[in-house]
Structure 1
């Protein structure tokens, strides 16, 4: 069965196994799917493929997925873009939305979550507001991610700006990895 013209999806993900699983799952839902590993491949694919939807990993090998979000949104402001990340933070969520993403999901997320996010247009005034104050560890995590965004995910420059040894920062990032 051929995909409908408005069910074209580009997946920008450097994790081959996760991308293959996601691709198969969307193809079973009658999407035509193209998988690319980064911004350059995405731009090349867009020369012949016009997706309505995009799933973009935030942290790609050697580059930020935020650059992909910006490029995709500039190419087609109506494209429905969902950012997936194992490194969730408020700073990157805000930047992703400002750059054109429709939604931002922490990994692990499944096809149902992603498809729902594509179609979620409005905010939810009934979203749960936490009762607990933000912990020092979470504040540190947010500051680290804010600085990572400011430096385009350059670990050395982020460590320098935070006054932290590069290896210490790398260990903190590895400890908090969600995916």
Structure 2
């Protein structure tokens, strides 16, 4: 199954591509609207994982052009800014599913797996739970990214002393 991941966060896009490749997808990555539409024409994916916020662009605006080029393409909209209004709008204009970040891999694969070809493999595979340290690290990274790397503002939002935050950032936990 050919999957196009449209995500402006380069690290997240590459991580998703690596993980979804292990689940049977052949992945391509686009980081903006123009690149995404070009890859849709060239790559002709069967599935698209689309971030709703692409820098200054809105991922919702890509759903119609993708559906016009590939009517049978399965589109999953992924967003960190979920609302009922955007979910309804996304489904109305052609998205097949709507997921909020952070999303776990079994949920993501299940949303992409329209023919239930991969779901049996995922349910048979034991899922590992992230450690508390890893969950905290991921949350800190998300807030830090939202604040464009501003440690002082991130510390304020996390109700944490700035020096404590800096120490936590130096101790990256082991991935699980």
Q: Give me the TM-score of the superposition, normalised by structure 2.
A: 0.62
What's the RMSD between the two structures over aligned residues? 1.7
What's 1:129 paired with? none
Q: Structure 2: how far apart are the matches of 1:110 and 1:72? A: 25
User: Counterparts in 2 of 1:112-151, with a 5 A limit?
Assistant: 112-119=106-113
- SS at 2:3 equivalent: strand
Given that residues 8 and 31 in structure 1 are in contact (C-alpha distance below 8 angstroms), is that contact kept between their aligned partners in structure 2? yes
Q: Give me the TM-score of the superposition, normalised by structure 1.
A: 0.61
- SS at 2:41 equivalent: coil
1:102 and 2:96 correspond: yes
Q: Post-superposition shift, 1:10?
A: 0.2
How many pairs were matched up?
116
What's 2:2 paired with? 8
- SS at 1:46 equivalent: helix
Given that residues 59 and 65 in structure 1 are in contact (C-alpha distance below 8 angstroms), is that contact kept between their aligned partners in structure 2? yes
Q: Post-superposition shift, 1:120?
A: 5.9
Given that residues 82 and 117 in structure 1 are in contact (C-alpha distance below 8 angstroms), is that contact kept between their aligned partners in structure 2? yes
Q: Could you list the runs of 5+ residues in structure 1 that have no partner in the other structure?
A: 1-6, 122-174
- SS at 1:18 equivalent: helix
Q: Post-superposition shift, 1:118?
A: 2.7
User: Counterparts in 2 of 1:29-44, with a 5 A limit?
Assistant: 29-44=23-38
